[in-house]
Chain A
Amino acid sequence: MELPQARGALSATLSDALRDGTPDLSSVEPDDEEDLHLSLWMLYELHYRGFDGVDDAREWDPDLLTVRARLEGRFESDLRAACRPIVELADARGSVPDQLAAITAYDVGVSLPNFVQREASADQYLEFLAQRSLYHLKESDPAAWAVPRLEGPAKVALAELQYDEYGGGRPERLHSRLFAEAMEACRLDASYGAYVDRVPAYTLAVNNAMSLFGLHRRLRGAAMGHLAAFEMTSSLPCRRYLQGAERLGLGEPVGHYFDEHVEADAVHEHLAARGICGALVEAEPQLRPDVLFGAAACVHLDAVAAQQMLDAWADGRSALRVVRDREVA
Chain B
Amino acid sequence: MSECQVTLIPDGPALIRGADRIRDADGVTHEATRPVVAVCLCGLTQRPPWCDATHKVAVKP
Q: Which residues of A are at the interface with B, using a C-beta cutoff of 8 A? A: 160, 163-164, 168, 235-236, 239, 262-267, 269-271, 274
Contact = CB atoms under 8 A, between A and B. Distances in A.
Given A236-B53, A263-B50, A269-B53, 18 more contacts: A160-B36, A163-B35, A164-B35, A168-B33, A235-B53, A263-B37, A263-B47, A264-B34, A265-B53, A266-B13, A266-B38, A266-B50, A267-B15, A267-B34, A267-B37, A267-B38, A270-B12, A270-B13
Contacts of A168: 33-35
Contacts of A269: 53
B9 interface: yes
A270 B52 CA distance: 12
B52 A235 contact: yes
Contacts, number: 51
29 contacts: A160-B36, A163-B35, A164-B35, A164-B36, A168-B33, A168-B34, A236-B53, A236-B57, A239-B52, A262-B52, A263-B34, A263-B37, A263-B51, A263-B52, A264-B34, A266-B13, A266-B51, A266-B52, A266-B53, A267-B15, A267-B34, A267-B36, A267-B38, A269-B53, A270-B7, A270-B12, A270-B13, A270-B38, A271-B15
B23 interface: no
Contacts of A163: 35
Nearest to A263: B50
Top 7 closest pairs, chain A to chain B, by CB: A235-B53, A266-B51, A267-B38, A266-B53, A266-B38, A263-B50, A262-B52
A274 B36 CA distance: 14
A269 B37 CA distance: 12
Interface string B28-44: 00000111111000000
Chain B interface helix/strand/loop/mixed: loop
B9 A270 contact: yes
Interface string B43-61: 0001100111110110000
Contacts of B57: 236
A19 B48 CA distance: 54
Contacts of B15: 267, 270-271
Contacts of B37: 263, 267
B33 to A, nearest CB: 8
Nearest to A236: B53
B9 A274 contact: yes
A212 B33 CA distance: 33
